[in-house]
Amino acid sequence: MPDPHPLPGGAPGPADDPPPAGQGAPDPPPCKITTLLTPHPLDIPSFSAAVGSPAAGAVSTFVGTTRDSWDGKPTLRLEYEAYAPMAEAALGALAATAAGRWGLTGFAAGHRTGTVGVGEASVVIAASSAHRADALAAVAWAIDELKATVPIWKKEVFVGGEVWQENAEGRALMMEKRQRGAG
């Protein structure tokens, strides 16, 4: 039986400007990049492991989970809907930007779709770098960037009602998707 939540193999991504050929110092290792959009539970340790590198002195990780209340009302679950091809492309672009901007040794981002119960993870970001400031800054930037630019929408289902969380860009895309009947 296949692993229910496999992580695709890391692919080399952009790294800091390498030194000119012929210079003594060895090239920095390329940044390992992994992104995943999945209806299955996210295996958090596999994301931390995916960014591991002997050149890393720091690994920073962020996990977003469903909390038990929304606006004072008990939450039952969250439901995430994605425009998959565009969400995957946006995750990849975000990863490449983070890797290049902070000279990371590894970057991984995953988002779950469908129903996510209280206490379960909906999103994970992991980054590794030689020094701690870069991994920390990259993760803080990436989760904000993901929420702002990746077309994934969240419906909060709480006792007594439900509400879609707005995302200016995303909302327009979701409406367009629904009008077109895209899957």
Chain residues binding a second copy by CB under 8 A are 25, 44-45, 48, 52, 54-69, 72, 118-119, 130, 132, 135-136, 139-140, 143
**Do β-strands 69-70 and 32-38 pair in parallel, antiparallel, or remain unpaired?**
unpaired
How far, in Å, CA of 162 to CA of 46, rounded?
Answer: 32
Residue closer to a second copy, measured from CB, 11 or 55? 55
Residue closer to a second copy, measured from CB, 76 or 177? 76
Evaluate whether 113 touches 38 at the Cβ level (below 8 Å): yes
Residue closer to a second copy, measured from CB, 1 or 25? 25
Helix (H) or strand (E) holding 137: helix 132-149
How far, in Å, CA of 119 to CA of 33, rounded?
Answer: 27
Tell the smallest beta-carbon distance from residue 103 to a second copy (Å): 13
Residue closer to a second copy, measured from CB, 4 or 45? 45
Per-residue exposure over 52-70, b if at least 16 CB sit within 10 Å of its own CB, e if not: ebeebebbbbbebbbeeeb
Write the single-letter amino acid at 152. I
Tell the smallest beta-carbon distance from residue 137 to a second copy (Å): 8
Tell the smallest beta-carbon distance from residue 54 to a second copy (Å): 4
Tell the smallest beta-carbon distance from residue 127 to a second copy (Å): 10
| Residue 17: burial class (beta carbons within 10 Å; 0-12, 13-18, 19+) | exposed
Residue closer to a second copy, measured from CB, 62 or 171? 62
Tell the smallest beta-carbon distance from residue 161 to a second copy (Å): 19
